[in-house]
């Protein structure tokens, strides 16, 4: 008998939580992020043989599974660093490719493009390092810029060493 009374009380509390929801002008269908969580524990009391109900009603905070709301932003210097790194890597690869297609003879235009790519990569590397130290930012563009510009600088140094006949 006690079980049925406790279960009826639990249903009343659950229904009152639903009516509170409806009083706030919300639709009948609750969104998945706001809900009442009712936790029942049934256990046998020691030595008495009766089952007891413990009801914990707890209103949960909104759950945001898919979206992260934050004040972080993408830094302008980091974006510029990534763009300069992409331009410099593309310019260096195209200069080497067109020099190869020309029978190994690098024209002055290819050398000028590689020189500009070297300047862009150093500037992009500096911008990437500067943006890495900013506060409340997303790190994707600074990391991408540092990586691409480092690859470009290493590639320029490798080309210079090849030109001087070190390898």
Q: What is the pLDDT of residues 121-164, one digit of tens each?
A: 999 999 999 999 999 899 999 999 999 999 999 999 999 998 88
Model confidence at 99: pLDDT above 90: yes
CA 94, 81, 79, 136 torsion-angle sign: positive
Rg of the chain over CA atoms, in angstroms? Answer: 33
* pLDDT recorded at residue 30: 46
Q: Residue 8: what pLDDT?
A: 64
Confidence of residue 52 (pLDDT cuts 50, 70, 90): low
Residues paired with 145 in a beta bridge: none
Domain ranges of the chain: 2-59, 76-163
User: What DSSP element (H or E) covers 165?
Assistant: none
Give the side-chain half-sphere CA count within 13 A for 82: 13
- Categorize the per-residue pLDDT at 115 as very low, low, confident or very high, splitting at 50, 70 and 90: very high
pLDDT for residue 71: 87
Residue ranges of alpha helices (H) inside 1-138 are: 2-23, 76-101, 108-132
């Amino acid at each position: 008998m006690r079980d049925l009374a406790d279960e009826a009380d639990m249903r009343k509390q659950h229904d009152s939580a639903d009516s509170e929801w409806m009083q706030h002008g919300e639709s009948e269908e609750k969104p998945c992020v706001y809900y009442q969580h009712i936790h029942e524990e049934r256990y046998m009391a020691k030595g008495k043989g009766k089952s007891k109900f413990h009801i914990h009603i707890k209103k949960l905070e909104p759950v945001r599974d898919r979206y992260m709301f934050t004040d972080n932003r993408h830094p302008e210097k980091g974006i510029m660093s990534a763009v300069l790194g992409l331009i410099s890597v593309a310019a260096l690869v195209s200069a080497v490719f067109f020099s190869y297609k020309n029978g190994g003879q690098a024209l002055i235009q290819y050398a000028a493009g590689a020189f500009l790519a070297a300047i862009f990569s150093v500037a992009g590397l500096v911008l990437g390092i500067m943006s890495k130290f900013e506060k409340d930012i997303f790190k994707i563009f600074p990391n991408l810029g540092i990586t691409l510009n480092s690859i470009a600088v290493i590639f320029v140094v490798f080309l210079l060493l090849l030109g001087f006949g070190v390898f």
